[in-house]
Every structure is written in C-alpha cells, then in structure tokens.
Amino acid sequence: MTAPPLTLYLAAPRGFCAGVDRAIKIVEMALEKWGAPVYVRHEIVHNKFVVDGLRGKGAVFVEDLDDAPSDRPVIFSAHGVPRSVPAEARAREMVYVDATCPLVSKVHIEAERHSQNGRQMVMIGHAGHPETLGTMGQLPPGEVLLVETPDDVAKLEVRDPERLAFITQTTLSVDDTAEIVAALRARFPAIVGPHKEDICYATTNRQEAVKAMAPAIDAMLVVGAPNSSNSRRLVEVGRRAGCPYAQLVQRADDIDWRALDGISTVGITAGASAPEVLIDEVVDAFRARFAVTVEKVVTAEEHVEFKVPRVLREPA
C-alpha cells in the first residue's frame, strides 16, 4: 500500500531553552566534580526523559531538603526556590548549587527591589507551580498576592492601592497575561510593572512560532510533560490561533493516531524542557505511517547562553 502524503511543519524555535540547557549541565558537571550521588531538590526541569537520564547517571531527586543528607551536594531546580531553602542548606553546612534560571532570578530581584521600596507585590502565575512558590517565597508571607485570572484581580485585597507592583511567572501565555495586566492597571492605575517583560524570551518565541503555523495545519503536537507550564501553554495557544486539534505528548507512544485520521498537515513543536531526541522520535513515528514532507516554520533565532555557577568551573 502507498503511504498517504503528510506535510509536517516543524516550529523553530522549539525545545530546550538556555535556562534548561544550563540546569542540565549543572547536574552533569556536579556529578563529574563530586561523583554520585548528587541530590536535586525537585525535578531539575519538567521532563521525565531528562530526569530519568540524569537519575541513571547518579542524580537523586527529592522534594524536600530534609530528604537529602548533609554530606552530599544538593542542586536547586531551574524553577527557583523560596529564600528559606538555601538558608536551610547553609544552616546544615551543605554544599549546594543553585540552578535557578537567570531569568527567574531576575524576577526574584525585581520583587525584592519593589519590596524594599515599600510596594506590595502582585504575582501573575499558577498556584502550586514551583516557580510561583519560589518567587513568592522571596518575600515574607502577605507581601506577594497571587492572581491567575482577570476575575482574581477583582477580588484582590491590597494594603495600599498606591503602593503596588506586579511580576509574572516566566512561562505564561503572553495573551492571557496581557489580559490580567490590563485588569490590574484598570483597577490599580498606580501599579508598577517590570522594566522588561517577565515572560521569558523562550516562552514568547515558542508561542509566536505556534501562532504562525496554527492557521495552516489540521493538527498540532506539542512534545512536553504534563507538569510543564510552558508546554501546556503551547497547546492552548495553538487552539486559540486556529488549529482544530492540539495534543500534548511526552513521547511518540502517546500520539492518538485515531484523532489524526484523515489529516494532511501536522505542526510539531516542543516545550522548553523537551530534548530534540524526543521530537525526532515523533517525526520518525509519522514517517513510519505517512509519506512525510518536512517544512520549517522559523519565526526567531536564539543565541542565548548562560554560564554555569563558578563553583562548578573550579577544580575539585
């Protein structure tokens, strides 16, 4: 039988961002420097394939610092941690390496600066997400108020409407965040925003690539993990931009082929913590079923690199 024709549109940029690449490198370099085991508080990035690979090399993932022994190095994940976590590590005289993405650290610094200037913070983010917990944990309880929707803005009870500032999680939907910011500015005209947008370049670029290809495709697959905020946002952005069907898949085995019956065009992208090998795996799965033509949808080029912490660049 002749395989049916299919055009695959590959979004660019897609997959790993500089912060994820740096975080993974930090774990690998820590294992080289100190040997196994090296402990990591929370998944270093939200991708099972990546985490399992590092676990195979000797990384041990824990959710609480209490679960890591004091005599082994510990790494804090790319999402950032509350200020109390490194304080506890210092109190226990632990060797620790902070793999927080520098663009998340920038938001932490903004929050602290606004607090020092007497402003109460409003954070736009997802409740319970480790980045949100880490950012809110930079200031004392009550100093950061969380909103997830424009409706939440209407319910806010603030200390002084004239002394407010807002920050955002770095992996949000650009369009959803703009709506919430508009609601904040409408209710609190004096509120101060960041000098530069908190949503990171990688999140923005991946969403723009999805918007560019969504109207031209029958379906879209986003390679990423269910607990990856930026991956889930890509699915939402694709649907809103006109793609009739969008699915989040961790691996090629997760593809719902019945839902793709009769299609002729598919877009593929990946969240910022998904490695290229998993995208290749998905492409190969399509090649096994279709006569595939690949087209690239390029909307930006990324050349960002972040240095690893100095402690890993020094000899043991």
In angstroms, the CA 189 to CA 217 distance is 41
DSSP 8-state assignment for residue 307:
P
Q: Is the dihedral angle over the CA atoms 173, 86, 97, 55 positive or is it negative?
A: negative
The C-alpha R_g of the chain, in whole angstroms, comes to 21
Q: Tokens at residue 92, please?
A: 């226990």
Is 131 an active-site residue?
A: yes
CA distance 181 to 193: 9
The Cβ-side half-sphere exposure at 247, using a 13 Å CA radius, reads: 18
CA angle 48, 54, 55 (to 5 degrees): 85
Residue 162, helix vs strand vs coil: coil
Q: Is the peptide bond before 13 cis (omega within 30 degrees of 0)?
A: yes
3-state secondary structure of 96: strand
Residue 96 in tokens:
């620790």
Q: Which of 21, 39, 102 is nearest to 75 (CA)?
A: 39
List 32, 93, 131, 314, catalytic entry = 131
Query: DSSP per residue over 77-91, as a string?
Result: -TT---THHHHHHHH
Q: What is the DSSP letter of 223?
A: E
- Catalytic annotation, residues: 131
